[in-house]
Chains A and B, each alone.
Chain A
């Protein structure tokens, strides 16, 4: 297994280099100059042209694009993500500050998705054609169709503005530091409720529908009939025999879910003023902050690779036919 993981990681290097190269050139060939923001009259002053030229030189923007690429890829290999044009700070520091906030959202959203999506899918499949099945099927279809940002705004208006049950934004209350340890934990969770719900509810609805359909397929397989014929309890038939097989396509979906959730977090973080990667990425794109855009894109690419690798590893745990030891089980 370890050999397999190492092999996959080594193979992912050219993939990441390819993504990095494509992103770099697309970004630098796109219209717009990061120095333009200095030419806009911010408040009442403008930067002197010679200052702009000096800044351009310092950031290497006066060099040909291939030279910039060479330097960037060399620095990337050493873990140097460069300096943000906008914040004038190392990109790695900015990412280090922001990533934990986004991880809070995305990891909890994944857990919520798995917990509710899979559970509801199983329930709907087991109770096929009952009222519960219809409610889950229709409900998941409706939820899946609702745009995330609209749902976020509606939930904020109802549960924060009108009812006051949850905070409108941010990660903590202003008096957070005065709270007890458990108070702080509760405060953080309280702030997470709406953003995590919005971020995960659509994907949970999708998972529920996949799960229901796949489980129904599996339940009609001969080996399930055989298990039932052997007199096994229905609970054992479903959870031990059918579910493990039905989970395989779901694992594939989860392998891609992390970068997908990161994309969703861009909108959700904006609505909830959540100081994560999404907000950073949006600001970077607006300001042509190349080093930050490249770093956030690379992070997404790494997440795709890691997500797929984790999915492959999980296959082996779920499906006894899958082995990475060089042997194929019958």
Chain B
């Protein structure tokens, strides 16, 4: 009410019409909302739980068969255990007994089979009907799921949540994305749906009957104010927001907030070479280009977290979380210059740009979006120091993608996808950057269908070993995600517990006046 009084006192326009308005909890400076509530700046409005948006809010209300989205740990959630056939195509899931939907109906194998059928439905197509075959219910707590190809169940079944058959079976799958159910979902997860205010928020409450773990935060509010996230945090209207690296500067020295960072499991930022381009076809040139750039300096200049690793090669989600990234070529301009000279590149005419047979070392790099322009300028500056003239052409990501697809580029700065399913676009038989390395292509094919995570990690290690001598790109840094949280939000940790929704079972709230002693706390730098 005090906030409202302040408005009345200072704003005559509001004063004229404000009788009876209570506005607590929506704007006090530095004061978080109600103490038992975690308020997060979120996206998606009425579709936060809809499969159309398919965002992590669904895990608050619905459960998957197993976890692994965040940590790649094979832990059963709805499934107590599972059996895998030798060919990694058939999985028999044994569900935990006694689990119920929030309306009291029991969770059964029929729900799992129904969900899979819905995912495969021709009007839904969230999974490939040819890739995932119809599930077979053995009994109320046992279901068999079959895949056409060898599959890592964690990669697959940790992302899809199970929906209640008894509430949805009579609805038209063709209208699935428009079902009113998603605006007021009945789930089986740690939080129950309470209410939804279109365009404003969705409120969830911890389910007292939830048996798998005890949610320590009683109430969660998804506030649909993501685009205004930082000001919302500063004003105390939300507890956690996603921020950009430069926004972290605004929070520096403000002890009310902590900044956390994570690395995208499968996406790095890299300067990709068109590997059949006359300038880049020699692997020694590509190695020299990597060695010419001080990537630690680039990371600092972009205000990315100091701990951001420098690497050369590809990595799995598990490897980046564990910090097991492939080693980087050293920053060594002398060695880079020597390598370039070995190939015939030297500054014969003294104009500051290397040349060979009268041709200067000059090329244009497409930059996929203005967000990467800063990184492009920094790399451009580093290249200039060794006599390489890189021009930048900033394009919208969609335009860049089209140009790359058509081969109309010398080099491009953009995302390097490490996921097993996408690696072949960079390094495999369908390489869009014209990378040709038979040994790497064979390993990429193998990694794509390798269901065992340990063996997949080893395959990625082998690929990186080859890439060390024959780099297809200059890797700059793993894509970084950053969150800022009020200090009363405890349990967040860089780099593995940063997404507040996925980490919610590990979080708790403390009185914001208490001293921060959490050793897992992030930093404001």
CB of A234 closer than 8 Å to a CB of B: no
Tell me whether A161 and B23 are in contact (CB under 8 A): no
Interface 0/1 of A252-276, CB less than 8 Å to B: 0000000000000000001111010
Tell me whether B27 and A279 are in contact (CB under 8 A): no
Q: Which B214-246 residues sit within 8 Å CB-CB of chain A?
A: 221, 223-228, 231-232, 234-235, 237
Tell me whether A48 and B228 are in contact (CB under 8 A): no
Query: Which of A8-16, A85-93, A121-129, A316-324 lies at the interface with chain B?
Result: A85-93
A171 contact set on B, CB distance < 8 A: 199-200
Tell me whether A178 and B22 are in contact (CB under 8 A): yes
Docked Cα-Cα span, A154 to B145, in Å, equals 55
B131 contact set on A, CB distance < 8 A: 48, 50
Least distance between A86 CB and chain B CB atoms (Å): 8
B29 contact set on A, CB distance < 8 A: 161-162, 164
Tell me whether A156 and B20 are in contact (CB under 8 A): no
CB of A212 closer than 8 Å to a CB of B: no
Query: Which of B6-14, B269-277, B349-357, B378-386 lies at the interface with chain A?
Result: B6-14
CB of B186 closer than 8 Å to a CB of A: no
Tell me whether A156 and B231 are in contact (CB under 8 A): yes
Least distance between B183 CB and chain A CB atoms (Å): 11
Least distance between B4 CB and chain A CB atoms (Å): 8
Tell me whether A173 and B234 are in contact (CB under 8 A): no
Tell me whether B200 and A172 are in contact (CB under 8 A): yes
CB of A46 closer than 8 Å to a CB of B: yes
Tell me whether A45 and B21 are in contact (CB under 8 A): no
CB of A144 closer than 8 Å to a CB of B: no
CB of A116 closer than 8 Å to a CB of B: no
B130 contact set on A, CB distance < 8 A: 48, 50
CB of A157 closer than 8 Å to a CB of B: yes
Contact flag A170-B199 (CB < 8 Å), given A41-B417, A165-B11: yes
B297 contact set on A, CB distance < 8 A: none
Least distance between B1 CB and chain A CB atoms (Å): 11
CB of A186 closer than 8 Å to a CB of B: yes
Docked Cα-Cα span, A41 to B317, in Å, equals 12
Docked Cα-Cα span, A301 to B56, in Å, equals 37
CB of B114 closer than 8 Å to a CB of A: no
Docked Cα-Cα span, A185 to B13, in Å, equals 13
CB of A220 closer than 8 Å to a CB of B: no
Contact flag A168-B27 (CB < 8 Å), given A88-B177, A193-B11: yes
Least distance between B82 CB and chain A CB atoms (Å): 19
Tell me whether B200 and A170 are in contact (CB under 8 A): yes
Tell me whether B125 and A55 are in contact (CB under 8 A): yes
CB of B512 closer than 8 Å to a CB of A: no
A288 contact set on B, CB distance < 8 A: 398
Least distance between B6 CB and chain A CB atoms (Å): 6
Tell me whether A54 and B23 are in contact (CB under 8 A): no
Tell me whether B159 and A43 are in contact (CB under 8 A): yes
CB of B135 closer than 8 Å to a CB of A: no
Q: Write the chain A residue with the least CB distance to B7.
A: A165
B203 contact set on A, CB distance < 8 A: 174
Tell me whether A173 and B225 are in contact (CB under 8 A): no
Tell me whether A174 and B6 are in contact (CB under 8 A): no
Contact flag A33-B26 (CB < 8 Å), given A44-B159, A172-B200, A186-B19: no
Docked Cα-Cα span, A226 to B78, in Å, equals 89
Least distance between A303 CB and chain B CB atoms (Å): 22
Docked Cα-Cα span, A173 to B1, in Å, equals 12
CB of A21 closer than 8 Å to a CB of B: no
CB of A167 closer than 8 Å to a CB of B: yes
Tell me whether A172 and B19 are in contact (CB under 8 A): no
CB of B195 closer than 8 Å to a CB of A: yes
Least distance between B304 CB and chain A CB atoms (Å): 20
Contact flag A46-B422 (CB < 8 Å), given A178-B22, A190-B18: yes
Q: Which B370-425 residues sit within 8 Å CB-CB of chain A?
A: 396, 398-399, 401-403, 415, 417-419, 421-422, 425
Tell me whether B417 and A40 are in contact (CB under 8 A): yes
Docked Cα-Cα span, A51 to B130, in Å, equals 9
Task: Give the interface size bracket for A toward B.
Answer: 35 or more
Contact flag A89-B27 (CB < 8 Å), given A171-B200, A183-B22: no
Least distance between B121 CB and chain A CB atoms (Å): 11
B228 contact set on A, CB distance < 8 A: 156, 168-170, 271-273
Docked Cα-Cα span, A101 to B45, in Å, equals 14
Tell me whether A168 and B231 are in contact (CB under 8 A): yes
Least distance between B43 CB and chain A CB atoms (Å): 9
B267 contact set on A, CB distance < 8 A: 41
B52 contact set on A, CB distance < 8 A: 86-89
Docked Cα-Cα span, A33 to B403, in Å, equals 12
CB of B327 closer than 8 Å to a CB of A: no
Interface 0/1 of B35-72, CB less than 8 Å to A: 00001000001110000111010000000000001000
CB of A325 closer than 8 Å to a CB of B: no
CB of A79 closer than 8 Å to a CB of B: no
Tell me whether A182 and B401 are in contact (CB under 8 A): no
CB of A69 closer than 8 Å to a CB of B: no
Tell me whether B421 and A41 are in contact (CB under 8 A): yes
CB of B344 closer than 8 Å to a CB of A: no
B317 contact set on A, CB distance < 8 A: 44
A160 contact set on B, CB distance < 8 A: 27, 231, 235
Contact flag A45-B227 (CB < 8 Å), given A167-B237, A275-B198: no
Least distance between A97 CB and chain B CB atoms (Å): 7
Least distance between A298 CB and chain B CB atoms (Å): 22
Q: Which of B21, B25, B237, B266 contacts A169 (CB 8 A)?
A: B237
Contact flag A189-B17 (CB < 8 Å), given A168-B232, A172-B197, A270-B227: yes
Tell me whether A170 and B224 are in contact (CB under 8 A): yes
Q: Write the chain B residue with the least CB distance to A34.
A: B398
Least distance between A198 CB and chain B CB atoms (Å): 13
Least distance between B479 CB and chain A CB atoms (Å): 11
Tell me whether B234 and A161 are in contact (CB under 8 A): yes
Interface 0/1 of B147-180, CB less than 8 Å to A: 0000000011011000000000000000011100
Least distance between B409 CB and chain A CB atoms (Å): 13
CB of A39 closer than 8 Å to a CB of B: yes
Least distance between B221 CB and chain A CB atoms (Å): 7
Docked Cα-Cα span, A173 to B197, in Å, equals 10
Tell me whether A36 and B398 are in contact (CB under 8 A): yes
CB of B89 closer than 8 Å to a CB of A: no
Can you list 27 A-B contacts (CB < 8 A)? A41-B266, A41-B421, A45-B155, A51-B126, A55-B125, A87-B53, A87-B177, A88-B52, A97-B199, A101-B199, A156-B228, A161-B235, A165-B6, A168-B27, A169-B231, A170-B224, A173-B26, A174-B221, A175-B23, A176-B200, A180-B20, A182-B19, A182-B21, A183-B20, A193-B13, A275-B199, A288-B398
The 10 closest A-B pairs by CB, nearest first: A32-B398, A275-B199, A88-B177, A169-B228, A273-B225, A48-B128, A186-B21, A31-B402, A183-B20, A186-B18
Contacts A55-B125, A97-B199 aside, 4 further interface pairs with beta carbons under 8 A come to A39-B422, A164-B6, A168-B237, A273-B227
